[in-house]
Structure 1
Amino acid sequence: MLKTLAVSSVSLLALNLGVASTACAQVDTTSTQNETVDKAENVDTNRRLDSIVVTAQKTEQTLQEVPVALSVIGADAVNNAFASSNLESLTTLVPSVSFRKGSTNANSAITIRGIGTISFSDAAEPSVATVVDGVVLGRSGQAFGDLFDIERIEVLRGPQGTLFGKNASAGVVNIVTSGPNKDELAGYVSASYFQDQEYQVKARLTGPINDNVAASLTLSKSGFDGYIRNLYNNQDVNGYDRFGGRFQLAFEPSDDFSGLFTYEHAESDDDCCADIPALNANAARFANSQAAPGGAGLVANGSGRPVADIQLDTRVIDQDFETRTTNSFDAFSLTLNKDAFGGHTLTSISSFRSWENSEFREGDFTSSEGYADEPVNFGDVNFLLHDNGTRDNSQFSQELRIQSPTDSPVNYQVGAYYFNLQIESDFTRLASCQNNGGQNQAILDANPGLTCNANDLVSGTNFANVEFDNLALFGQADYDIIPGLNVVLGGRYTQDDVSFINSRINNDPFGRQGVGVRPHLPNGQFNFASGGYSNPARDVPTGETDNLGNPILVDVPAFQGDASETNFSVKAGINSDLGVLFRSDHNLGNAYFVYSQGYKGPAFNVFFNQGTNDTAPIGAEESDHYEIGYKIALSNVALNLAVYNTDITGFQANAFDNSTGVTITRLTNAGDVRTRGVELDGSWAVNDYLTLNGSVALNEAEIVRFNSPINPTTGEPDFPGGIFSGQDLLFSPDLNYSFGADFEMPLTATSKFYLNTTFSHVDEQESFLPGGNPDPTINPYPIGAEGLLPDYNLLDMSFGVEFNDNYRVTFIAKNLLDESFVTTNSGDTFRYQIPREADRYFGVNFRAAF
């Protein structure tokens, strides 16, 4: 076998998996007992599926034993994804997972079973936690770059709070990287090349330094010109330029003490993700552009629900400002394990991470606006709007955990966790002056000759600081009541504190307001003359210096707030080994029932246009989850079944709000939601050469009760929120399924042929919550119109030859059906995200190992 990452898991809920290279033993890489090496060892040619070991519950268990709906994506699956080797590929690998692509990593999000947090606010945490080697990431966007040297990805569905560092109301994506090889020097080089000059190069070197210390170094470099043509400058966009590296040092000075130090650095420059005009719903905006979308726009279909005639084949934009995101992060972690009293194990995980995210965003989506010497009227004279901003994130976390001996009647883990996240951000918007409502008339009257037309550009800047503190005590225990039947009990106490201060200045010397650079009355305006704020002031830099070189500061009124909340959530369940319970000599599988509570702390809606309506804290998001499951794994057949129901109160989500007459997106406790469904998956090793996989997810995620936005003038909602009851949640397709096959056949004594194919279906899905006002004369976002994304199918294939256990050549075909699709509607009735995978393309990979 090829000397690749040997310890790779089989996903029993995903396809495109390398079952043949499944190892028979795996351990948590947070421990230096990890024996992961860069060569194949003891591969079971009968492809046994009953020995898959995971660490989803912080201890070694077979996949069958874990009473949690769990998908395990092994190293082969990640590697086989090739150009799509990032978290976005989970959408097709795990049917219950969806991905919302934003204009920057900071506002992209993962949803599980339809539950996820999609927000522009820095003062809101994700519903789906992302964990890397035991360290919780403050923002999921930190993991949206290239994946490299991944041993496996575990996707835990449903609330997970009694074992992982931070509670999560929807689920956890647990990423486990490959640890150092302490037995011998090993390594590999992998190079991939695809159409349109897309490439990815990875290299790894690992081995022992002495009897007690081992190290590994992995580097990754990738680049892509892009697949969307910008007609403005005849350049391709939606590409990337990325570099990353990971260094690990494992040490074991004694038999009862071990440690793992990890340093990781990554940086990227992505001219992504341009919003593509794909719906003919705003003719005035594109009247003179070759990028104007064709089609019939919104079409009535007789049901009272308009259908969007999305132009799925368009691959052009016409924009004079490049949407771009740059990222850079450094991460340090230290994991220590100490065998202690009575066979217990003490674990400490310390981590510090810094992340800088800068975004540059085209906001008018044209190349011809902002030049008219006429007032903006949103009819035939449009506006210019360009954004740029930077976020600096710094997080520190410390976890302490005690684990009991695994052979005792009562197995338990208890721990304490502390997490601190600080975010400093600035955001500037440059836009056309706007006076269509007379908002600048007093300034114009006071300054004869001053104008406020589309070519009169004004800007505003906001400066925000956000801080999160999270302290928790958690634990979980299972007890064997009788042979084959045990009870699981867990609990978590959490204390959350979140605070913010957000100030904003108008950079125009006259204080004129522009498109999107101020909240609508009666919220505070930018400048003091037009109302200002009643909140305390803060000093912000003007960008100028005095004669001594000191920065000139100005007192700017600021919004600020803080919120604290405590929570105690529980988990209770039963898990049964049916063969042992019924005293059978055969493996009858495991059945389980679990009830668990999820919790996500309070938040604030901190963003550029924050107004007085946004200063009140947003309450915590809490969930009650019930799940019944059955798992069986024989030597060549495995089957998993899960039936679940989750009720969430205080769902934190961005809703379009028109209560003030101006459409904005506002983070709020949108209401109560429910997700329920059935998930079935299986894997069958037909013989030594062929393995078949399949999975189906039926999910109904819907709004139970919608909280209507409050009109700040009347203090009452403009309409009853019940009219939206029953609407689907975002990115929650009702039906996803996938099927695939892995085939391997020896050619000679030292070579083999292999083939992998995956077919997946993603059902139609909503891409944003309903508008804040059902009146079609005010709300430009009718329910179920352009927000409904069509279903699509994907067929991927790879095949190749392996020589001498060391060399592998693979040919890759992505989207063989050449079926185009969209993944997100970004708003403004016409903007969509069309991913790279929406086109058929081909590539080749060469891998050499030693």
Structure 2
Amino acid sequence: MVVAMGMMAQPAFAQTQAAPKADAGEIIVTAQKRAENVQNVPLAVTVLGSGQLAAAGVRQFQDLGAVSPSLTIRPAEHPVNANVSLRGVGTFAFGIGVEPSVAVMVDEVPLAFQARAFTDLPDVERIEVLRGPQSTLYGKAASAGLINIITRNPTSELKVRANATLTADNEYGANFSVSGPISPTLGYVVSGAYSKWKGNVTNLFNGQKLNGRESGNMRAKLRWEPTSDASITLSLNYMNGNTNVGRPIVYQAAGALFRGGAGVTIATALPGVTAGADNQNVSINYTSRTKYQGGGGNIRGEFQLGDHSLVTITSYDKFRLDDYFDSDETAQSAAAYTNVQIGTFKSTLFTQEVRLLSDGSKPFRYTLGAYYANVDFERPFYRGPAFSLANWNATSKSSQIAAFVQSDWNFLPNATLTTGGRIQNESIGYTFHDIQNGSARFSGTAQDTAATYRASLRYEFTPRVNAFLTYSTGYKGQTYDLTTGFNSGRANAGPIKPETSRDIEFGVRSQLFDRKVTLNVTYFDTTYKNLQAQTIETIDNVQNFRLTNVGKLGTHGVEVDAGYRPSSNFNFNSSFALLDAKYLSFPAAQCFAGQTAAQGCFVGTPSSQNLTGTRAVQAPAFKTSITAEYTPQIKDGLRGLAQVNLQHQSSVYYAARDPQTFQKAYSIVNLNLGLRAEDKRWEVTGFVNNLFDKQYYPSLINNNGSWGGAMTTQAILPRDFRRYAGIRASLNF
């Protein structure tokens, strides 16, 4: 998708890998690990530029779903439990060893934890969202798709960028980027960002604002080109931040009693709080929060070997997140009702990738590569002292080695056949120390070898119109369900089997009317087998709920990306996704709290529901993002700026069939008005996000169990739950 048709791909300080020259209006991507015009890539790719992100009010990773309709990001009480899904497919599990379905990479380097991404976006050049299975080139963590964040590279002359944002509801932030040459062979870029927002939830217990965040990050790159055929880039990064959260009760049945306690009504347990759709108050006596820090780096080498290019990427990353949660979520001080959760997530990741690329200008071209990764996780966890007791420490290790190949063959003047394959071997291991239950200890190891492949036929009808047909397979690795309740039965059952998928896509890419119109259409049909999800499983004649292989999920639909740029003054971009994602086989799912037999809950020990044929969670049937920009000339050297962004999403369930987690359709409008220099050296913009003050919830939680079975629904509020205004200024010279 070319959502930033007027954005030129910025050249790096120098590129040893031969890349096509970008004409005006063309976007260069690396979705296939080779620099290519996005219109010629036989994949469903969304490309987001910095201007598009600003118009939609996107400043953090979790906001990306607003501008990529096939992407949905559901927040949680802390980032590790948040979920990222593409085309209705994501990983709804909390275990430390469970692979995500959507991989996140920064400059082609993977992140061990999706939570590592949930902060301010770094010094972004562009973001590529690859929809559908990407396992052949990107491995087992990309079974549903990939988000690749590309940061700016060193430049051949001094460049300075700076941005600042201030809002009327106490958010402020700034970022900068400075790049240029140190010598004829050495270039640099240094960037940093800081932001803080108090939040939009009030804790009546102490007057503290919640649902806020504070984050800072620094990045630096040094690029050395000893010869015209070689370059080495050293990249370093560091991040530090914190979040807090309050989950207001937006609906509660009359007479609800906290944990069924006599007289412990909402007025007693949460003094001053009134449940309702507009409620932005909580009353908790322990601040639910996280603090995190992490850092790492990578060394990228690019070497020209005759008509081939050799690329090597070595990376190391370390991340820690400490989480604290008021699990009773009340102001109660009585020992029988006071409960907290305290834990830590630690990850260490090392990767090494080597790939050889042939001359991209020849009729037959190929990419050969090898990849190695080693990742360690650790999770100590405590919950108590009053109820739902847990105290354990788990570790998870994974080591994988893979080889991949992809070739493009122009076997006819206008026809290209793309084929690729990947084979990988993975070893996993775990330890689980259950301190709560007799200090029981468990451990285990497993390994698996798997192959994935892809084939695509692309035909170019004209230089600006082409169509493709692609068949690909996906793979998500085996894992252990390392969460509360892990026991000898789960240990003896062994690892959860890998999840596999097959995907068929048909797409048309076109630029019409002297390239003033871009129209891209993709049809997709994907089936996932051995779907990894929470279900009922019988182990040692005991039925329990755990992450396991539940059956099948199917998702198919149409994605349309359209852009219209009649002149340099006007730019219109739109995209929408029609999605039908259903469980094709899910016979024994957990009933939601309060579910009756009439609602499909089969009474038993334990009770269950059959979700076969049910729409997948977090999978809206329709979603769209539309942006219009008008930049009229006011006088020589000065232009006005008017941007309107519309986001619409149809209804969605956050838990299958649960009416308490049903979010009805909603639309959000953002408005930007400002001035900019003709040469874009500076810009000042006033903005209003959620112009018409429409309320919606990106996450709803059924919490009946904490209130004696009485219907109680909590929400995590979005950044734009209420209309807010601000000013944004930027310098670029």
Give the Cα–Cα distance (whole angstroms) in 2 for the partners of residues 185 and 792 of structure 1.
Answer: 45
Structure 1 counterpart of 2:423: 493
Structure 2 counterpart of 1:795: 669
Structure 2 counterpart of 1:87: 61
Of 743, 758, 764, the match for 2:645: 758
Does residue 61 of the first structure (1) align with residue 36 of the second (2)? yes
Of 43, 46, 61, the match for 1:71: 46
Does residue 370 of the first structure (1) align with residue 362 of the second (2)? no
Give the Cα–Cα distance (whole angstroms) in 1 for the partners of residues 16 and 360 of structure 2.
Answer: 18
Greater radius of gyration (CA)? 1
Q: What secondary structure, in the 3-state scheme, does the structure 2 residue paired with 1:725 have?
A: coil
Give the TM-score of the pair, scaled to structure 1: 0.78
* Residue identity opposite 1:672 in structure 2: K
1:614 to partner: Cα distance: 3.3
The 5 A counterparts of 1:726-805 are 726-769=613-656, 783-803=657-677, 805=679
Judged with a 3 Å threshold, the aligned counterparts in structure 2 of structure 1 residues 145 and 235 are, in CA distance, closer, same or farther, namely same
Does residue 359 of the first structure (1) align with residue 246 of the second (2)? no
Q: What secondary structure, in the 3-state scheme, does the structure 2 residue paired with 1:608 have?
A: coil
The 5 A counterparts of 1:386-785 are 386-432=340-386, 460-506=390-436, 526-527=437-438, 556-579=439-462, 587=463, 589-615=465-491, 616=493, 617-634=495-512, 635-655=515-535, 666-708=546-588, 723-769=610-656, 783-785=657-659
Structure 2 counterpart of 1:274: 246
Give the Cα–Cα distance (whole angstroms) in 1 for the partners of residues 655 and 454 of structure 2.
Answer: 32
CA deviation string 1:773-830 (max 9, x = no partner):
xxxxxxxxxx331122222111011121124743221101100011111111233242
* Residue identity opposite 1:425 in structure 2: R
Structure 1 counterpart of 2:173: 200
Query: Is the Cα contact below 8 Å between 2:590 and 2:608 reproduced in 1?
Result: no
Structure 2 counterpart of 1:520: none
1:58 to partner: Cα distance: 1.5
Judged with a 3 Å threshold, the aligned counterparts in structure 2 of structure 1 residues 674 and 424 are, in CA distance, closer, same or farther, namely same
Judged with a 3 Å threshold, the aligned counterparts in structure 2 of structure 1 residues 660 and 103 are, in CA distance, closer, same or farther, namely farther
Give the TM-score of the pair, scaled to structure 2: 0.90
Give the Cα–Cα distance (whole angstroms) in 1 for the partners of residues 576 and 69 of structure 2.
Answer: 7
Give the Cα–Cα distance (whole angstroms) in 2 for the partners of residues 665 and 108 of structure 1.
Answer: 20
Judged with a 3 Å threshold, the aligned counterparts in structure 2 of structure 1 residues 34 and 487 are, in CA distance, closer, same or farther, namely closer
Structure 1 counterpart of 2:726: 843
Structure 2 counterpart of 1:133: 107
* Residue identity opposite 1:741 in structure 2: A
Q: What secondary structure, in the 3-state scheme, does the structure 2 residue paired with 1:163 have?
A: helix
CA deviation string 1:348-391 (max 9, x = no partner):
0000000001100111111126345xxxxxxxxxx322101111
The structure richer in strand per residue is 2
Give the Cα–Cα distance (whole angstroms) in 1 for the partners of residues 102 and 189 of structure 2.
Answer: 30
Give the Cα–Cα distance (whole angstroms) in 2 for the partners of residues 498 and 218 of structure 1.
Answer: 37
* Residue identity opposite 2:444 in structure 1: G
Structure 1 counterpart of 2:263: none
Give the Cα–Cα distance (whole angstroms) in 2 for the partners of residues 127 and 30 of structure 1.
Answer: 34
* Residue identity opposite 1:697 in structure 2: A
Give the Cα–Cα distance (whole angstroms) in 2 for the partners of residues 589 and 663 of structure 1.
Answer: 56
Give the Cα–Cα distance (whole angstroms) in 1 for the partners of residues 115 and 13 of structure 2.
Answer: 22
1:287 to partner: Cα distance: 4.6
Give the Cα–Cα distance (whole angstroms) in 1 for the partners of residues 647 and 390 of structure 2.
Answer: 46
Give the Cα–Cα distance (whole angstroms) in 2 for the partners of residues 279 and 613 of structure 1.
Answer: 38
1:32 to partner: Cα distance: 6.7
1:659 to partner: Cα distance: 11
1:719 to partner: Cα distance: 8.6
RMSD: 2.7
1:319 to partner: Cα distance: 0.9
Judged with a 3 Å threshold, the aligned counterparts in structure 2 of structure 1 residues 53 and 832 are, in CA distance, closer, same or farther, namely same
Query: Is the Cα contact below 8 Å between 1:136 and 1:165 reproduced in 2?
Result: no
Does residue 318 of the first structure (1) align with residue 283 of the second (2)? yes
Q: What secondary structure, in the 3-state scheme, does the structure 2 residue paired with 1:503 have?
A: strand
Give the Cα–Cα distance (whole angstroms) in 2 for the partners of residues 839 and 318 of structure 1.
Answer: 20
1:313 to partner: Cα distance: 1.2
Q: What secondary structure, in the 3-state scheme, does the structure 1 residue paired with 2:696 have?
A: coil
1:433 to partner: Cα distance: 5.5
Structure 1's unaligned 5+ residue stretches are 1-10, 36-41, 295-310, 373-382, 435-458, 507-525, 528-555, 580-586, 770-782
Between 1:783-792 and 1:102-111, the stretch displaced more is 783-792
Structure 2's unaligned 5+ residue stretches are 259-265, 592-602, 705-712
Give the Cα–Cα distance (whole angstroms) in 2 for the partners of residues 721 and 229 of structure 1.
Answer: 37
Give the Cα–Cα distance (whole angstroms) in 2 for the partners of residues 34 and 204 of structure 1.
Answer: 26
Query: Is the Cα contact below 8 Å between 1:465 and 1:502 reproduced in 2?
Result: yes
1:721 to partner: Cα distance: 7.7
Does residue 215 of the first structure (1) align with residue 188 of the second (2)? yes
1:832 to partner: Cα distance: 1.7
Judged with a 3 Å threshold, the aligned counterparts in structure 2 of structure 1 residues 43 and 129 are, in CA distance, closer, same or farther, namely closer
Give the Cα–Cα distance (whole angstroms) in 2 for the partners of residues 258 and 602 of structure 1.
Answer: 38
* Residue identity opposite 2:341 in structure 1: D
CA deviation string 1:527-561 (max 9, x = no partner):
3xxxxxxxxxxxxxxxxxxxxxxxxxxxx321222
Give the Cα–Cα distance (whole angstroms) in 1 for the partners of residues 718 and 545 of structure 2.
Answer: 24
Give the Cα–Cα distance (whole angstroms) in 2 for the partners of residues 101 and 29 of structure 1.
Answer: 37
1:596 to partner: Cα distance: 0.2
Q: What secondary structure, in the 3-state scheme, does the structure 2 residue paired with 1:162 have?
A: helix
* Residue identity opposite 2:649 in structure 1: V
* Residue identity opposite 1:592 in structure 2: F
Query: Is the Cα contact below 8 Å between 1:32 and 1:259 reproduced in 2?
Result: no
1:562 to partner: Cα distance: 2.1
Query: Is the Cα contact below 8 Å between 2:534 and 2:589 reproduced in 1?
Result: no
1:139 to partner: Cα distance: 1.6
Judged with a 3 Å threshold, the aligned counterparts in structure 2 of structure 1 residues 396 and 666 are, in CA distance, closer, same or farther, namely same
* Residue identity opposite 2:483 in structure 1: F
Give the Cα–Cα distance (whole angstroms) in 2 for the partners of residues 354 and 746 of structure 1.
Answer: 49
Structure 1 counterpart of 2:305: 340
